[in-house]
C-alpha cells in the first residue's frame, strides 16, 4: 500500500481564499508586483475538469503544465479531503466510495475516498470498472499477462492467467476475455456467478469485442492465422448469453454472403450490435484488387468526367477499396448488404431498423459538404429501399435521427423538416410553428440552423435552438419556448455534457442525445452584452432556477442528477480559472489555479464597440497591458480571424508553445494592447469586408486615446493570415504585420487541390470561408479584387511571412507567391519556412522560434527596440 497523499480542506480552503483575495490587491500592493519574464511561463498550468461521481459529491480535475509535470486531483465538493496523483490518467469513480486512476510509475491506484486508504497495483497496464469492482489487466516483469478480478476496494477476488484483452458488458455484470497460447481461448466471466464459460477455442485470434446494448449478446472477430482457410478462416461470431449459443458468419458458410467479398478486419469500421440484439453490423471488402487502368503503367489518368479528383479516386478506387457494411441476422441466418459502390456511405436510425445511405460523389465534387446528395432509406426487415430526400446537404450537423427510431430530422431551405419513418411523411416544423431556427450569425453563403439539442424519451419531443432560446417541439402537435433569452439579449444552451448518447456512437453518428427534462437539465446562459455567464436549471413544467452566475466566463459544466449539484469552471481574463460547485444556493470554491499570478502585473479586458459601412454594430475584445497606466499611449497588436469578441473573458496562460506563434498574454505582459475584433462578411468581398471591419475596430481604439496610432501591428494565421495579407494592401494604418499560412492569390487557389484531403479548393471559395458565392468564371473580378497579390504594390508595412514546408491545406506556395510579389516590388519582407511542419506548427522548438520571432518583429517596429540580427539582415529601412 502507498501512504496517503491527503490535503485537508480546512487549511487548504483558507489558503485558497487568501490566494483569491490576492487577485484583487489594494492599490498600494501593486508596487510589490513583478513584471513577467519568459522564464516564468513554466509556472502556469491549465485547469480542466476531468469527471464527477454520479452525485457530483466528488470531482476529479487536472492541472497540466508545459513541462509535462501534470497532476490529477480528486476533491470532495461539499468539504472534506483532496487527493493528488502526479501524472494520473484514465480515472473513474465507483459511486462516492472509491476512485481509480492509472499512474505512469505506480500502475493502478485505488483510493477509499472516505478514509484515504490507497492501494497500488504496480503491474497493471489497464483496467475497467464493473458492477462489483474492477477488472485489471496486468503484465509481470517477464511479460506474462493475467487478468485480475478485484472488488471495489481493489482487493483481488480471482485471477485469469494469460488473459490480456477484455471488454466489460454495458451493465457491468460480465466481461469477455481472450487468452493466448498454443490453443487460444475466448471466455466470458460472470461477476454475479463468479465463474467463466468458454465461448471458443482454436488457433484463431479473437478480437473486436462488441457487446449488445443490453449486455446479453457479444459479437467478435475470429481472425485466422496467415494461410489458414476453411473452419478456421476469418469470421464474425455472435454469442447469445441467454441461449448459450454461438453463431458464426463467414463467406464459406453463408450462401447470401456478398459475392467476391471478404470480412474486413482493419478496425476502421468496428462491429456493432443492434439495440434488440438481433442484428450484427460488420464491414466487408472486395476480395480482389481492381486491375490497373494500363498494365504496367504508373501514369496518372485524370478523367474529365470523374466525380472525384484522381488522388481521392486512387485512394478509394471508385469506392472499390472502401469497406462496405452488411447486416447479419444470426437467428435467421440471413445477410443483407447495406452499402455498395453506388451508395457507399451509411448511418442507422436510432433503433438500427433502417439504414440511410447516400453517395457523396454522385455528381462532380467541388469539395467539402457543398455537394448535395440523394439520400435513401432501407428497411432492414424487408430489404425495401425508397428515396428519403433529394439534393440534400451532407453536413452531419444539419441532420438528426431520433433515438427511438421514429423520425429523421433534417434542415433544408432554412427550415427544420421532420420525416416520419413509419408513414414516409415529411413535415415542415419551421413553417408549421412559425419559428425561425436559422443561425443569423452565420455569414456564409449557405444557410444553416442553430443546432439540435436532443430528444426526450420515446421520441416524445425534440429540443432545438434558435439564436437565443431553446424550444421543445412535440412532433406535429405543438411548440413551446423553454427560455426567454431574446428580450434580454441572452443566449441559452445546454450546460455541459448532458444526456445519454447513441448505443453505438461509432455507427449511429446521426442519432441524437436522449435528454430528461423531468429530472432536470442545467442550462448555460451567455449574456451577449458582455459575454458573462450564468447557470440555470430547467425542470419540465417548472420555472427556470438560477444556480450560479459570473461576471466572467463559465464552462465545463458537469451535473450530478442524484444530488442536483453542478461543478463548473469559472474564469476571466484577469482571474485564473477556479473550480466551483453549487447546488443552487451559494457557490463554493474547490480549487484556484495559478495563484502565482498575484505576484505579477497583469492586464485586463473589455468589450469595445464600433460600426462598419451601413451602420452594422460590431464588437471586439480589447486586452490591456500589464501594469496599465492611463497616461501612456501604448503600442497595439491587432490579432484577426473571424468573430473573436467572445474570448474577452477567457483566461490565457502565457506560453511560447502556440501552434500559430501568437499569445495574447505574452504581449499584454510585454507592454502591448491586444485587440481581437469581430469581422463580418459581405458575400463576394471577403478581403474588403475584413479590411473594413478591422480598420473600423482599430480606429475605435485609437479614438479612446490609449494607443499610439503610429505603433499598431497586425497578426493573423490561416484565414487570418489571408486577411492580414489583404488588409496591408488597403491601408497604411499598420506599422508592421505578421502573417502565417495565408492565401495570397484567390484565382490560383480556386484552381488547385487541398492535398491534405485530396479534394478541390473550389468549395472554400464559393460556399465556405472565402464566401465569394460564385464561381471564378461567373465573377472573376471578385477573385481579383479580393486577392492580396492584386494590391501588393500598395503595401507600406514591413511584413513577416511564415509557413510550414509540408503545408498542403493552404499550400505553402501561396506564402511564397506573396513573398515573391513583395520582394519584386522592393517591399520590406522576410519569409520563414519551417521544415517538417504543415498548416500549424507542432514541434515545440519551432513553436518557440516563431513566438520569439513574432515578438522580435513587433518589438523592433512598434517599440523601437534594437533589431535582432535576423531582422537587420533581412530588411533595410
Q: Which residue has the higher pLDDT, 732 or 181?
A: 732
For residues 713 and 736, give the distance between their C-alpha atoms in angstroms, rounded to a whole number. 5
Q: Cα separations (Å) of 345 from 269, 339, 361, 627, 876?
A: 12, 7, 10, 57, 57
DSSP letter, residue 659: T
- State the cell numbers at 805: 514546408
Predicted local confidence at residue 17, as pLDDT: 42
- Count CA atoms within 13 Å of residue 119 on its CB side: 15
Under 8 Å between Cβ of 234 and 271: no
Judged against a pLDDT cut of 70, whether residue 6 lies above it is answered with: no
The residue-averaged pLDDT of 812-817 equals 98
pLDDT band (50, 70, 90) for residue 153: very high
Predicted local confidence at residue 457, as pLDDT: 95
Predicted local confidence at residue 611, as pLDDT: 97
**Structural domains of the chain sorted by starting position, each given as residue range(s) with its CATH number in brackets:** 603-761+788-874 (3.40.50.1820)
User: Per residue in 360-369, pLDDT tens?
Assistant: 988 888 887 7
For residues 186 and 239, give the distance between their C-alpha atoms in angstroms, rounded to a whole number. 11
- State the cell numbers at 823: 520582394
Predicted local confidence at residue 297, as pLDDT: 77
- State the cell numbers at 279: 442484428
Q: What percent of the chain has pLDDT over 90?
A: 82
Predicted local confidence at residue 25, as pLDDT: 43
DSSP secondary structure of 58-90: EEEEEEEETTS--EEEEEESSS-EEEEEETEEE
Under 8 Å between Cβ of 569 and 584: no
Under 8 Å between Cβ of 436 and 464: no
Judged against a pLDDT cut of 90, whether residue 269 lies above it is answered with: no
Predicted local confidence at residue 368, as pLDDT: 76
Judged against a pLDDT cut of 50, whether residue 188 lies above it is answered with: yes
Predicted local confidence at residue 228, as pLDDT: 54
Judged against a pLDDT cut of 90, whether residue 709 lies above it is answered with: yes
Predicted local confidence at residue 498, as pLDDT: 52
Instruction: Point out the least confidently predicted range of 2-16, 327-341, 411-425, 695-709.
Output: 2-16
- Count CA atoms within 13 Å of residue 867 on its CB side: 10
Instruction: Give buried/exposed letters for 400-418 (b at 16+ CB in 10 A, else e).
Output: bbbbbbbbbbbbbeebbbb
- Cell 450569425 belongs to which residue? 441
Judged against a pLDDT cut of 60, whether residue 7 lies above it is answered with: no
Judged against a pLDDT cut of 60, whether residue 227 lies above it is answered with: no
Predicted local confidence at residue 674, as pLDDT: 99
Judged against a pLDDT cut of 70, whether residue 19 lies above it is answered with: no
The residue-averaged pLDDT of 280-297 equals 70
Predicted local confidence at residue 232, as pLDDT: 60
Instruction: Point out the least confidently predicted range of 163-172, 187-196, 312-321, 810-819.
Output: 312-321
Average pLDDT, the chain: 92
Bridge partners, residue 714, by sequence = 638, 737
Predicted local confidence at residue 295, as pLDDT: 52
Burial of 668 (0-12, 13-18, 19+ CB in 10 A): buried
The residue-averaged pLDDT of 821-834 equals 98
Judged against a pLDDT cut of 60, whether residue 647 lies above it is answered with: yes
pLDDT band (50, 70, 90) for residue 229: low
Predicted local confidence at residue 801, as pLDDT: 99
Predicted local confidence at residue 506, as pLDDT: 45
Q: Which residue has the higher pLDDT, 714 or 507?
A: 714
Judged against a pLDDT cut of 70, whether residue 22 lies above it is answered with: no
The residue-averaged pLDDT of 421-440 equals 96
- pTM passes above 0.85: yes
User: Per residue in 379-390, pLDDT tens?
Assistant: 999 999 999 999
Single out the residue of 170, 180, 124 nearest to residue 149, CA to CA. 124
For residues 508 and 505, give the distance between their C-alpha atoms in angstroms, rounded to a whole number. 5
Single out the residue of 371, 261, 388 nearest to residue 312, CA to CA. 371
Q: Which residue has the higher pLDDT, 587 or 9?
A: 587
Judged against a pLDDT cut of 90, whether residue 212 lies above it is answered with: yes
3-state secondary structure of 662: coil
The residue-averaged pLDDT of 501-527 equals 76
User: Per residue in 531-554, pLDDT tens?
Assistant: 999 999 999 999 999 999 999 999
pLDDT band (50, 70, 90) for residue 16: very low
User: Per residue in 543-584, pLDDT tens?
Assistant: 999 999 999 999 999 988 777 789 999 999 999 999 999 998
Judged against a pLDDT cut of 60, whether residue 509 lies above it is answered with: no
The residue-averaged pLDDT of 114-123 equals 96
Q: Which residue has the higher pLDDT, 78 or 663?
A: 663
Q: What percent of the chain has pLDDT over 70?
A: 93
Q: Which residue has the higher pLDDT, 775 or 4?
A: 775
pLDDT band (50, 70, 90) for residue 655: very high
Judged against a pLDDT cut of 80, whether residue 29 lies above it is answered with: no
Under 8 Å between Cβ of 17 and 93: no
Judged against a pLDDT cut of 80, whether residue 650 lies above it is answered with: yes
Burial of 621 (0-12, 13-18, 19+ CB in 10 A): buried
User: Per residue in 344-356, pLDDT tens?
Assistant: 999 999 999 999 9
Predicted local confidence at residue 505, as pLDDT: 45
For residues 533 and 516, give the distance between their C-alpha atoms in angstroms, rounded to a whole number. 23
Judged against a pLDDT cut of 90, whether residue 319 lies above it is answered with: no
For residues 323 and 507, give the distance between their C-alpha atoms in angstroms, rounded to a whole number. 14
Amino acid at each position: 500500500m502507498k501512504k496517503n497523499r491527503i490535503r485537508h480542506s480546512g487549511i487548504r480552503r483558507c489558503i485558497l481564499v487568501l490566494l483569491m483575495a490576492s487577485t484583487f490587491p489594494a492599490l498600494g500592493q501593486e508596487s510589490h508586483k513583478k513584471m513577467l519574464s519568459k522564464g516564468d511561463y513554466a509556472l502556469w498550468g491549465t485547469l480542466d475538469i476531468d469527471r464527477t461521481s454520479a452525485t457530483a459529491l466528488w470531482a476529479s480535475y487536472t492541472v497540466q503544465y508545459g513541462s509535462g509535470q501534470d497532476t490529477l486531483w480528486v476533491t470532495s465538493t461539499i468539504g472534506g479531503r483532496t487527493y493528488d496523483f502526479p501524472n494520473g490518467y484514465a480515472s473513474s469513480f465507483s459511486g462516492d466510495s472509491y476512485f481509480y486512476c492509472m499512474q505512469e510509475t505506480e500502475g493502478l491506484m485505488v483510493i477509499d475516498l472516505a478514509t484515504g486508504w490507497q492501494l497500488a497495483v504496480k503491474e497493471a497496464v489497464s483496467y475497467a470498472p464493473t458492477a462489483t469492482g474492477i477488472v485489471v489487466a496486468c503484465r509481470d516483469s517477464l511479460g506474462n499477462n493475467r487478468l485480475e478480478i478485484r472488488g471495489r476496494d481493489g482487493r483481488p477476488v480471482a485471477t485469469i492467467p494469460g488473459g490480456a484483452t477484455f471488454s466489460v458488458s454495458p451493465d457491468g455484470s460480465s466481461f469477455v476475455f481472450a487468452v493466448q497460447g498454443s490453443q487460444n481461448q475466448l471466455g466470458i466471466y460472470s461477476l454475479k456467478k463468479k465463474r467463466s464459460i468458454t465461448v471458443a477455442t482454436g488457433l484463431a485470434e479473437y478480437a473486436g469485442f462488441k457487446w449488445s446494448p443490453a449486455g446479453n449478446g457479444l459479437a467478435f472477430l475470429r481472425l485466422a492465422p496467415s494461410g489458414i482457410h476453411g473452419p478456421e478462416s476469418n469470421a464474425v461470431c455472435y454469442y447469445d448469453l441467454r441461449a448459450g449459443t454461438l453463431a458464426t458468419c463467414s463467406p464459406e458458410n453463408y450462401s447470401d454472403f456478398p459475392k467476391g467479398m471478404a470480412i474486413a478486419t482493419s478496425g476502421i469500421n468496428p462491429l456493432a450490435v443492434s439495440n434488440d440484439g438481433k442484428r450484427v453490423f460488420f464491414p466487408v471488402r472486395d476480395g480482389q484488387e481492381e486491375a490497373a487502368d494500363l498494365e504496367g503503367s504508373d501514369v496518372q489518368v485524370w478523367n474529365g468526367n470523374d466525380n472525384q479528383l484522381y488522388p481521392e479516386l486512387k485512394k478509394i478506387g471508385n469506392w472499390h477499396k472502401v469497406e462496405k457494411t452488411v447486416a447479419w441476422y444470426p437467428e435467421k441466418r440471413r445477410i443483407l448488404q447495406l452499402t455498395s459502390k453506388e451508395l457507399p456511405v451509411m448511418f442507422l436510425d436510432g433503433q438500427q431498423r433502417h439504414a440511410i445511405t447516400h453517395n457523396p460523389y454522385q455528381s462532380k465534387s467541388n469539395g467539402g459538404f457543398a455537394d448535395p446528395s440523394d439520400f435513401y432509406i432501407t428497411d432492414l426487415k424487408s430489404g425495401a429501399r425508397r428515396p428519403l430526400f433529394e439534393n440534400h446537404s451532407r453536413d452531419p450537423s444539419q441532420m438528426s435521427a431520433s433515438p427511438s427510431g421514429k423520425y429523421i430530422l433534417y434542415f433544408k431551405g432554412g427550415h427544420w423538416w421532420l420525416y416520419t419513418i413509419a408513414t414516409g411523411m415529411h413535415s415542415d416544423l419551421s413553417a408549421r410553428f412559425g419559428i425561425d431556427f436559422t443561425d443569423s450569425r452565420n455569414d456564409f453563403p449557405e444557410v444553416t440552423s442553430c443546432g439540435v439539442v436532443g430528444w426526450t424519451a420515446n421520441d416524445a419531443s425534440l429540443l432545438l435552438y434558435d439564436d437565443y432560446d431553446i424550444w421543445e417541439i412535440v412532433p406535429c402537435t405543438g411548440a413551446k419556448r423553454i427560455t426567454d433569452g431574446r428580450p434580454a439579449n441572452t443566449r441559452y444552451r445546454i450546460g455541459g455534457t448532458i444526456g445519454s448518447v447513441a448505443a453505438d456512437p461509432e455507427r449511429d453518428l446521426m442519432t441524437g442525445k436522449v435528454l430528461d427534462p423531468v429530472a432536470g437539465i442545467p442550462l448555460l446562459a451567455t449574456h451577449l452584452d458582455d459575454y458573462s455567464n450564468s447557470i440555470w436549471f430547467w425542470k419540465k413544467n417548472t420555472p427556470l432556477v438560477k444556480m450560479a452566475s459570473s461576471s466572467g466566463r463559465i464552462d465545463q459544466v458537469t451535473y450530478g442528477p442524484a444530488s442536483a449539484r453542478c461543478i463548473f469552471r469559472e474564469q476571466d481574463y484577469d482571474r485564473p480559472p477556479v473550480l466551483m460547485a453549487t447546488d443552487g444556493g451559494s457557490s463554493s470554491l474547490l480549487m484556484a489555479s495559478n495563484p502565482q499570478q498575484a505576484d505579477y502585473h497583469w492586464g485586463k479586458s473589455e468589450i469595445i464597440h464600433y460600426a462598419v459601412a451601413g451602420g452594422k454594430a460590431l464588437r471586439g475584445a480589447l486586452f490591456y497591458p500589464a501594469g496599465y497606466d492611463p497616461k501612456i499611449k501604448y503600442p497595439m497588436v491587432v490579432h484577426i480571424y473571424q468573430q473573436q469578441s467572445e474570448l474577452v473573458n477567457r483566461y490565457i496562460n502565457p506560453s511560447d508553445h502556440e501552434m500559430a506563434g501568437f499569445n495574447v498574454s505574452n504581449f499584454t505582459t510585454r507592454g502591448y494592447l491586444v485587440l481581437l475584433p469581430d469581422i463580418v462578411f459581405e458575400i463576394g468581398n471577403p478581403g474588403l469586408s475584413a479590411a473594413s471591419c478591422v480598420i473600423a475596430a482599430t480606429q475605435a481604439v485609437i479614438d479612446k486615446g490609449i494607443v499610439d496610432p503610429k505603433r499598431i501591428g497586425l497578426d493573423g494565421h490561416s484565414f487570418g493570415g489571408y486577411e492580414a495579407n489583404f488588409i496591408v494592401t488597403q491601408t497604411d494604418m499598420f506599422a508592421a504585420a505578421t502573417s502565417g499560412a495565408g492565401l495570397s492569390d484567390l484565382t490560383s487557389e480556386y484552381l488547385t487541390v487541398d492535398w491534405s484531403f485530396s479534394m478541390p479548393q473550389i468549395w472554400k471559395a464559393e460556399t465556405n470561408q472565402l464566401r465569394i458565392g460564385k464561381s471564378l468564371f461567373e465573377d472573376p473580378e471578385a477573385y481579383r479584387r479580393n486577392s492580396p497579390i492584386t494590391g501588393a504594390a500598395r503595401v507600406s508595412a514591413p511584413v513577416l511571412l511564415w509557413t510550414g514546408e509540408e503545408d498542403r491545406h493552404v499550400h505553402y506556395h501561396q506564402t511564397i507567391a506573396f513573398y515573391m510579389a513583395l520582394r519584386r516590388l522592393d517591399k520590406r519582407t522576410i519569409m520563414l519556412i519551417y521544415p517538417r511542419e504543415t498548416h500549424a506548427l507542432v514541434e515545440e522548438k519551432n513553436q518557440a522560434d516563431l513566438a520569439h520571432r513574432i515578438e522580435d518583429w513587433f518589438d523592433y517596429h512598434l517599440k523601437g527596440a534594437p533589431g535582432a540580427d535576423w531582422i537587420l539582415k533581412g530588411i533595410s529601412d
